[in-house]
Amino acid sequence: MPILKSINAKNSRFLLILMMIIPWISLPLVGRSTIKRFLPATVFISLVVKIMNIIAEKRKWWWFYTSVHPKINGDIPFILGPYFICSLWVLKMTYGRFPLFLITNIIFHLLFAFPGIKFLKNLGIASLVRISSIQLVFILMIRAVLLYSFQFAKENLNFRFIPFREIQKKSANKEIL
């Protein structure tokens, strides 16, 4: 690990920027129809993650030491980079097969919670403070089930988005009659 000891804050910022950009290279491989299908669930869970990170920061569950910019929280590169794109990929590959979805997420979350957090701590990017790695896996799995549930509800409850123009047209037609 001598290489890790030579990484300073400037290099950590560079790694965060790379971590935020590199996953987006795979986006064209996901496919347009997959993006249209799973984007609402991915955006929803990304917002949930941001809200949870605000709560976690107040309760000191984990801490980000480095950020890409002083005015941007350290969690933003994780949310906009690997978390967002991985959510799309995992939904594409496993949606409709819930056991496979759970197994895939457990593997990813265990890899993030144990060697991943240790690696981030050694780089001076982030660390767990008041929760353990097992508790982090539990939180991550709750978010995964929430992601799947949102997508399931979206597809099976037949939500229909009615553009505002159609609502105006319908109300205008009623006034004419």
What pLDDT shows up at residue 130? 97
Residue 127, token pair as written in the block: 């660390």
Task: Band the pLDDT of 89: cuts 50, 70, 90.
Answer: very high
| Cβ-proximal residues to 133 (8 Å cutoff; 6+ apart), any chain | 113, 114, 117
- Helices 84-94 and 133-156: crossing angle, nearest 10°? 60
Strands (E), the chain: 62-64, 126-128
The rounded distance, in Å, linking the Cα atoms of 100 and 93 is: 9
What pLDDT shows up at residue 175? 61
Q: What angle do CA 113, 140, 64 make, to 5 degrees?
A: 60
- The β-bridge relationship of strands 126-128 and 62-64 is antiparallel
Can you tell me which residue has the tokens 């996901």? 30
CA separation, residue 166 to residues 116, 161, 163, 177 (Å): 49, 10, 6, 17
Task: Band the pLDDT of 9: cuts 50, 70, 90.
Answer: low
- Position 1 pLDDT exceeds 80: no
- 138-157 mean pLDDT: 96
